[in-house]
A = this chain, B = another copy of it.
């Protein structure tokens, strides 16, 4: 548990991934657990909060999600860029990546999914919506967000706040090959 984490209201949960951050997908089934990185996720609905995430059918994560019907999306801050790349480059079939990298996980309040708070800006605990065709044809898994929380130093009252004093928590966005960009300065659109 991280003292800075606060629950995020259901109607604000989709906003946590609105801007396209790379996420850590966490999963567990029985005594097995895993974490992998995923660049391909998006909201599909605000109310109820629903998301889609692409998880290759050959991965250990997909096996655990299919078995448990649940997963977590944890949003790593910039300080976790090396860890994010590392857990995206090795299979959990071979090692317990939580133990290997000393990753602390809490248990999700709704579904018992392992969730990462240390170094992360937020997490979403998700219940898989079974869609066999899209899971098979596009590796695309739809899910409903049943709980969410965020570090209040960067997301509070339903809004992100990117500032000079929270650089380490700012979201990262994968360009490919281990290169990320950090969500940078805020641009406020003006009416045309």
Q: Which residues of A contact B (CB under 8 A)?
A: 15, 18-22, 39-45, 50, 52, 54, 78, 81-86, 101, 131, 133-134, 138-140, 142, 159-160, 162, 172-192
Chain B hits for A185, CB < 8 A: 181-182, 184
Copies in the complex: 2
Question: Which residue of B has the minimal Cβ distance to A178?
Answer: B189
A20 CB, min distance to chain B CBs, angstroms? 1
Contacts of A134 in B (CB 8 A): 131, 134, 142
Q: Contact at A15–B159, with CB atoms within 8 Å?
A: no
Contact A182 B187 (CB under 8 A): yes
- Give every chain B residue within 8 A of A40 (Cβ-Cβ): 18, 42-44
B184/A182 in contact, CB under 8 A: yes
Bound complex: CA A189 to CA B80 (Å) = 9
How many Å lie between the Cα of A190 and that of B188 in the bound state? 33
**Chain B nearest Cβ from A175, distance in angstroms:** 5
